[in-house]
Structure 1
Amino acid sequence: MSSMTNIHTLFGAEEFWVVADSEQFLNKCSNQGLKTAHITKVEALPRNSIIFSFSNSAAKLTLEIAQATPRKRSVFCAAQVFEPSLSCASYSLNLLLNSDFKKALKKQRAVLNMLNSYDLFSVTGNGSCGRVTLLPKAEPYALIAEDVSGDFIHSVAEFFEVHYAHMKPQEPCPFFFSGELNISGILTVLRKPNPMLPEDMKMKLQQLSDTLSENGGLLTVVENKVTSLRTGNGEYIEVLKMAAGTRGLELTEFAIGVNDEIAPLIDYKMNSQLNEGVGGVHLAIGDGSSGYHIDFLSPAANVSPITQ
């Protein structure tokens, strides 16, 4: 577990609790000296809390309790839609406790200002080369210091990335990307079982994740459509096409990560939501419902405005 050198950047000197629906996870946290509570045994959230849900029912209960808790500062980790295992949750908590929230929120503001000031950007660094164009009315999702100055409950992802999402396929995508990204890993999300997907899809994506974490990969995108993902001397475009559901190979997200502190600690074989917040860029396909939402993580990529 962590030495907790950075958690004070969110909660200050105040105590915090780890809340979850897994006794095994809570026992492990208690053995590390952390205060813990089972989500089914609390009527209100602690003043400061880090919450892990290992099931959809626990996630629903968490939000119900949060609504009934007037004073709260909570970071919510929906482990069940990524990987609800003890090892992945412990890994995610370690990254979270080592994250500099204050620095990340400050960087989000800087990224937000940059994105709102220009509409054309280059993506470079570590073998990546691409171009991003933003629509005039595109609005990025971001979290800044004012958003956590009072009471709140936020998904952990909100603290560590600025992103554009294309939620509704019938509407124009707010961004356009073309180029190549050097990929260190992927994340996969499926919010509920989908019988239309191949039975071995989860296994194939795990194999792809392992191969990428060991060898890296090169993602090619042409006008918002993924055309290639090569890693370990293999081409995986057909796996992506089968996994992504009705949204296919069209991009559904463009994001800039701001959590620089976790870079030395990341294991890209872990399907942890914390991984996507690392400094750099990630793109995604899929909606997580009709098919998998798949994030392609390029931690060494930099985004810079094109001014001429």
Structure 2
Amino acid sequence: MLPTNIISTLFGHEELSIIADSEYFLRECSLLGFNTANIFELEKLPKNSIVFSFSNDAAKMTFDLAKNTKSKKSVFCATQVFEPTVDAALYSLKLLLSSNFEHALCTQRSVLNMLNSHDSFFLSGNDADAQVSIFPHAQAYALLAEDVSYDFVQSVAEFFEVHYAHMHPEAPCPFSFTGTLKIEGILTVLRKPNPLLPEGLKVSLKWLSDRISEEGALLSIKDNTITSLTIKNEEHVKLLDLAAGPRGLKLREFAIGVNEAIASNIDYKINSQMNEGISGVHLAIGDGSSGYHIDFLSPSVSVSPTH
């Protein structure tokens, strides 16, 4: 069954193609009834597309083709920096097709209005006990309906979260977070191998991810610094510190997820970009280059103004 929601919300019931650099993945998508094409056989993007890149070359090609395409609407899924397997991509596609894009975009607007109208918030639900302050210089990143009314190439993650990012360590952080969260899953990204990082981190982080998805974890933060990550009272904060690189345990991101529709289908063992949009909040450390970027997902958490 083709996805009526994404077609109507983003593409106006027009024809949709799935583009990728994996023939196996494209065959599976064809069986689902989609038009498909290998990205390396194109001279420009189709008018409406969902792109899955399994390699950095394919990701680069996506944006090169976009420059040569006058009219395009494209949702971009950077599979290669998460888990570049066909199974993971098919899982991501399943979540994408089950998502309510119209509701997510509307919810982003509501969340953005709330964040712009207050500066102090408390978190509740799923045993959350935390507070966050947003500073006057802060700029929230959000995607609104008008942003996708005309031509666009947007990362799939942008459809499902409103977030603040602390990009440059020397600049002031746009938020201050203190408290504890129950963590249901993590995501890990390292854009390219870094010989300065300790060996074996990928295996260790996969082990940690599996443990958290099975047993949950408790994350503690004080003044934007992670102080503890425990699974059944076992401490794992040293692994995080090693993996995150020079920025260590300092928070890099605070985000509010708005994708309610994927809750019943989410699998936290899969390192999929779609997971981070789950309705709730997530925090992140690391920049993904000098060290791993690690997202900590806490679903079913609400953010409300303190006053």
Give your verdict on TM over 0.5: yes
Q: Quote the residue 2:83 is aligned against.
A: 83
In the TM superposition, residue 6 of structure 1 has moved relative to its aligned partner by 2.8
Q: Secondary structure at the match of 1:36?
A: strand
In the TM superposition, residue 13 of structure 1 has moved relative to its aligned partner by 1.6
Kept in 1, the 8 Å contact 2:251–2:284? The answer is yes
Q: Distance in 2 between matches of 1:232 and 1:78?
A: 33
Q: Distance in 1 between matches of 2:231 and 2:89?
A: 27
2:94 aligned with 1:94? yes
In the TM superposition, residue 187 of structure 1 has moved relative to its aligned partner by 0.4
In the TM superposition, residue 5 of structure 1 has moved relative to its aligned partner by 4.9
Kept in 2, the 8 Å contact 1:211–1:232? The answer is no
Q: Secondary structure at the match of 2:124?
A: strand
Mapping of residues 235-254 of structure 1, within 5 Å: 235-254=235-254
The Cα offsets for residues 67-91 of structure 1, whole Å up to 9 and x where unpaired, read as: 1101001000011111100110000
Q: Quote the residue 2:301 is aligned against.
A: 301
Counterpart of 2:263, as a letter, is: A
Kept in 2, the 8 Å contact 1:183–1:212? The answer is yes
Unaligned runs of 5+ in 1: none
Counterpart of 1:194, as a letter, is: N
Counterpart of 1:94, as a letter, is: K
Q: Secondary structure at the match of 1:63?
A: helix
Counterpart of 1:198, as a letter, is: P
Q: Secondary structure at the match of 1:265?
A: coil
Q: Distance in 2 between matches of 1:19 and 1:287?
A: 28
2:19 aligned with 1:19? yes
Counterpart of 2:3, as a letter, is: M
In the TM superposition, residue 3 of structure 1 has moved relative to its aligned partner by 5.8
Q: Quote the residue 1:171 is aligned against.
A: 171
The Cα offsets for residues 174-202 of structure 1, whole Å up to 9 and x where unpaired, read as: 00000001100000010110111122100
Kept in 2, the 8 Å contact 1:5–1:98? The answer is no
Query: Which TM-score applies when normalising by structure 1?
Result: 0.98
Q: Distance in 1 between matches of 2:10 and 2:257?
A: 18
In the TM superposition, residue 231 of structure 1 has moved relative to its aligned partner by 1.2
Q: Quote the residue 1:207 is aligned against.
A: 207
Counterpart of 2:35, as a letter, is: K
Mapping of residues 7-156 of structure 1, within 5 Å: 7-8=6-7, 9-156=9-156
The Cα offsets for residues 264-290 of structure 1, whole Å up to 9 and x where unpaired, read as: 110000000000001100000000011
Q: Secondary structure at the match of 1:69?
A: coil
Kept in 2, the 8 Å contact 1:212–1:232? The answer is no
Q: Distance in 1 between matches of 2:114 and 2:34?
A: 39
Structure 1 runs, 4 residues or longer, greater than 4 Å off: none
Counterpart of 1:69, as a letter, is: T
The Cα offsets for residues 190-229 of structure 1, whole Å up to 9 and x where unpaired, read as: 0110111122100000000000000111000000000000
Q: Distance in 2 between matches of 1:299 and 1:287?
A: 23
Counterpart of 1:216, as a letter, is: G
In the TM superposition, residue 124 of structure 1 has moved relative to its aligned partner by 1.1
2:5 aligned with 1:6? yes
Q: Distance in 1 between matches of 2:10 and 2:261?
A: 14
In the TM superposition, residue 15 of structure 1 has moved relative to its aligned partner by 1.5
Aligned length: 306
Q: Secondary structure at the match of 1:6?
A: helix
Kept in 2, the 8 Å contact 1:254–1:283? The answer is yes
In the TM superposition, residue 56 of structure 1 has moved relative to its aligned partner by 0.5
Query: Which TM-score applies when normalising by structure 2?
Result: 0.98
Q: Secondary structure at the match of 2:263?
A: helix
Q: Distance in 2 between matches of 1:272 and 1:77?
A: 10
Q: Distance in 2 between matches of 1:200 and 1:163?
A: 31
